[in-house]
Amino acid sequence: LAERLEDAWKKLRGQDKISKSNIQDALKEVRRALLEADVNLQVVKNFIAEVEKEANGAEVISGVNPGQQFIKIVYDELVKVMGESNVPLAQADKAPTIILMAGLQGTGKTTATAKLALYLQKQQQTCLMVATDVYRPAAINQLLTLGKQINVPVFEMGTDANPVEIARQGIEKAKELGVDTVLIDTAGRLQIDQDMMAELAQIKETVQPHDTLLVVDAMTGQEAANLTRTFHEQIGITGAILTKLDGDSRGGAALSVRQVSGQPIKFVGVGEKVEALEPFYPDRLASRILNMGDILTLVEKAQEEIDLADMENMQSKILEAKFDFNDFLKQMRLLKNMGSLGGVLKLIPGMNKISGADLQKGETQLKRTEAMINSMTKEEKSNPELLAQSPSRRRRVAKGSGFEETDVSKLIKDFTRMRSLMQQMGKGMPAMPGMGGMP
């Protein structure tokens, strides 16, 4: 039964392996999606070339086309590339753990510093935040205000002190206080400039942080790749925080950052509030970047439904007359996924004499049938007898699906008849329940 279906589908499509030519359209779609999500062009090119190489020759599962399957492969690869699971903050063997924040101005460094402090505090860790942004008086006040809000001490020396010296004394203070973690907020510029880089490098050299986190605004777009390259080459980062993911951005910067630096995204910022910080989940961001949820769902469903074990299971259900409406729905979806009903039926021995008009009727009937089954309760789906016995149940299903009670009665009668017919025919039965029984 299962094998016959597989063959039929392959013949119908004539393409059961992923090849360069049968995924051209999907390739274009994926490229466009990644660019729209602001993944850097070069990163997109490299990534797609890799995936294409890997996907070439992969078997296509039944129920989807090679393009759709390719998109699923892209998605899986995206998840993999961005890191299989979320990576925690570094932890020093001997307290305090030192975390250095880096990034351009306005990306959310100061906010992220407070967010991390709150996050750690919730894990019963004590923190100290250090204010080294002496270039804007407001910056120190901002950190002080946030510190008050979350009840975390802030070390600052005003705007006249040297940032490297503030950082050094900040660590001393942290040791004195005996806190678990010290977070160093730093200044940023609107653009990368040598003074800023030199100062940051000096701070890093002085405090020897366990984690150096690049804070990247998700709206940065194409520039995220260059930005990451510069910071990573000149400072050396060990991770990143992607901020402002609550906005419109699809978050493609994450892929750029990851590909360019090889370092993990550790957290994402999802709002202005101090609580708005989440660990990074690669799978969530991958589907946001790709923005092709429908296709992914379709492929996953097909993968589930064409499970061979499942098919065999269905066959034994048929033989024992345990085939119910759930199985029936599955079979119908399978048909739909495979494309036109007529094309499939024609490949099945004994079914090739069906006329076009009959087929049309068959497709319409399938839609009507599906609507009625969808109005059944879980119980009724798995136990068709309930409906056979209860007129009030049939009336409810009819009302729910917009049909007459007589339609529902006919469905039940046909279904029951079909089921016993299938049982009698046993293994010789083509995999199209209902088609003969309900034209």
Q: Which residues are annotated as a binding site?
A: 103-110, 185-189, 243-246
In the complex, the smallest distance separating the C-beta of residue 161 from ligand GDP, rounded to whole angstroms, is: 18
* 108, interface contact from ligand GDP, Mg ion, none, CB < 5-8 Å by kind: ligand GDP
Residue least distant from ligand GDP (Cβ): 269
Please report how many Cα atoms fall inside a 13 Å half-sphere around the Cα of residue 129, on the Cβ side. Answer: 33
110 in contact with Mg ion (CB under 5 A): yes
How many residues touch ligand GDP under the rule CB under 6 A: the total is 18
365: Cα within 13 Å, side-chain hemisphere:
19
Residue closer to ligand GDP, measured from CB, 232 or 244: 244
For position 110 contacting ligand GDP by CB under 6 A, the verdict is yes
262 phi-psi bin (left φ>0, alpha ψ -120 to 50, beta other) = left
Alpha-carbon distance values, 302 to 7, 111, 291, 333 (Å): 16, 44, 19, 9
Counting contacts by CB under 5 A, is residue 111 touching Mg ion?
A: no
* Least distance CB 384 / ligand GDP (angstroms): 52
Which window, 54-62, 133-141, 236-244, 365-373, contacts Mg ion (CB under 5 A)?
A: 133-141
Of 260-279, binders to ligand GDP (CB under 6 A) are 269-272, 276
Contact between 215 and 107 (Cβ < 8 Å): yes
Q: How far apart are the first and last CA of the chain?
A: 22
From 244, 381, 396, 419, residue interacting with ligand GDP (rule: CB under 6 A)? 244
Does a cis peptide bond (omega within 30 degrees of 0) precede residue 349? Answer: no
d(C-alpha 312, C-alpha 310), whole Å: 5
- Is residue 135 part of the contact set for ligand GDP (CB under 6 A)? no
Using the rule CB under 6 A, give the single segment among 34-42, 63-71, 109-117, 413-421 that binds ligand GDP. Answer: 109-117
- 68 contacts ligand GDP (rule: CB under 6 A): no
111 binds, among Mg ion, ligand GDP, none (CB under 5 to 8 A by kind): ligand GDP
Q: Does 147 bind ligand GDP (CB under 6 A)?
A: no
Rounded to 10 degrees, what is the CA torsion of 129, 230, 194, 164?
A: 20
154: left (phi over 0), alpha (psi -120 to 50) or beta: beta
Work out whether the CA dihedral 52, 58, 60, 61 comes out positive or negative: negative
Please name the residue ranges forming H helices in 37-132: 41-55, 66-81, 109-122
What's the min distance (Å) between Cβ of 201 and Mg ion? 18
Query: Is position 423 an interface residue for ligand GDP (rule: CB under 6 A)?
Result: no
Q: Are 338 and 68 in contact (CB under 8 A)?
A: no
Site for ligand GDP contains 186 (CB under 6 A)? no
Nearer to Mg ion, 44 or 114 (CB): 114
Question: Interface with ligand GDP by CB under 6 A: which residues?
Answer: 103, 105-111, 188, 243-244, 246-247, 269-272, 276
